[in-house]
Chain A
């Protein structure tokens, strides 16, 4: 393997110079073209290209910085707006509570007035009803007296004794008064 390579090297290397980088015939040409090409690359880069790229980078940096400033400013504004919204919400809450309280008080007063009115009417009706009831009761008691007197007289009649109607009714009255 190695022998093949070495043989090939020996065969091809025999008629050639051993080491191209150390040959000197091409040095002037290499130096000349290096100077020309390196020089022109330097010229083009330093004169035109690099300042332009640097300029772009600077512009980008400043635009990013100004965008950040703008964002911070807008953020502040938004926070201020939020604060003012919160304040106005609190105000609205307070106002709503006040209105509700007022309405409640008014309604309470109305309710009290109505209740009083209705109570008075009810009392009146109750009193009327009571007088009617007591009148009815008195009537009813009278009827009871006469029924009891009749009953007592007929009972006495069954026992064969007669009594004056007035006596019987006075006796019934006294019993009922006790009863």
Chain B
């Protein structure tokens, strides 16, 4: 009993990756099917189930579930139109996949005993790298060298000396901020999910250990439990919000690739 609680009270335990099925290594890399992969698969399956249903039903008058799928479609389309314009819609499937992949992972993570795939830096980092790679490759392909105009916004009419001074300061800042993008993009999602789940686990742990410890712990436990409930609501908000933030920042960065002049 105590052992169970000790294990459950460790707020880091929920982030542990466990191998479910061993798979033969590929090029010396271990690609075993883990709990991380399992919950990722669950998210993908749920996304395909929901939107596949909405797509296959396809009635002019939708029912509720079809409506949910279509609202998701419209939501992402409007998000892209709002930040990157009509041309941004060529990235619609990518942004859509990204948003609902992250949203599904975050929301599945809210379920007790579930694994939150987005609470691992390797996952968010790969997603952010994917976004930035698309921005850079598409930007260079579409605009050629003009893409680097991103780092040197036009300053309008100004003496050449003033321009040089400003560019000397501005260009390094722009380059650094561009390089920082994949870092902030991945860290924001990772840190939010990680910290939220640690907090949830901590307060839940306080409640449980408070009860088992007795004495003053019996007074602390209800408070900790109430806090855990409140944090749970907050974490649902964070789960949706972080998926939205990731997607909308992707749109903003894609907008830079589409229209590099500020």
Contact = CB atoms under 8 A, between A and B. Distances in A.
A26 B10 contact: no
Given A23-B17, A37-B41, A8 B30 contact: no
B125 to A, nearest CB: 9
A38 B122 contact: no
Nearest to B3: A12
B29 interface: yes
Interface in B44-65: 44, 47-48, 51-52, 54-56, 58-60, 62
Interface string A19-63: 111110111111111110110111011101110111111011001
A28 B51 CA distance: 30
B40 interface: yes
A166 interface: no
Contact of B205 (A5, A29, A34, A44): A5
B31 interface: yes
B141 interface: no
B93 A53 contact: no
A38 B40 CA distance: 9
A87 B126 CA distance: 76
Given A8-B9, A33-B36, A45-B96, A28 B30 contact: yes
A59 B70 CA distance: 13
A63 B41 CA distance: 37
Contacts of A55: 58
Contact of B97 (A26, A33, A42, A52): A42
> A-side binding surface: helix, strand, loop or mixed?
helix
B12 A19 contact: yes
Contacts of A44: 48, 52
B178 interface: no
Interface stretch (B147-155, B160-168, B213-221, B239-247): B213-221
Contacts of B40: 33-34, 37
Interface residues of B, number: 63
B60 A4 contact: no
A164 interface: no
B10 A9 contact: yes
Contacts of B70: 53, 56-57
B98 to A, nearest CB: 8
B257 to A, nearest CB: 18
Interface in B25-39: 26, 29-34, 36-37
B209 A26 contact: no
A81 to B, nearest CB: 30
Contacts of B9: 5, 8-9, 12
Contacts of A157: none
Contacts of B59: 56
B69 interface: yes
Contacts of A42: 93-94, 97
Contacts of B56: 52
Nearest to A9: B10
Given A22-B121, A37-B44, A42-B94, A30 B73 contact: no
A34 B17 CA distance: 14
Given A52-B56, A52-B58, A21 B190 contact: yes
B236 interface: no
A50 B60 contact: no
A11 interface: yes
B262 interface: no
Given A20-B12, A30-B122, A49-B51, 6 more contacts: A4-B217, A21-B122, A28-B31, A32-B29, A38-B44, A45-B93
Listed from nearest, the 7 A-B pairs whose CB atoms lie closest are A46-B93, A28-B29, A33-B37, A52-B55, A26-B17, A20-B15, A32-B31
Interface of B: 5-7, 9-10, 12-13, 15-17, 19, 26, 29-34, 36-37, 40-41, 44, 47-48, 51-52, 54-56, 58-60, 62, 69-70, 73-74, 92-94, 96-97, 101, 119-123, 126-127, 130, 190, 194, 202, 205-206, 209-210, 213, 216-217, 220
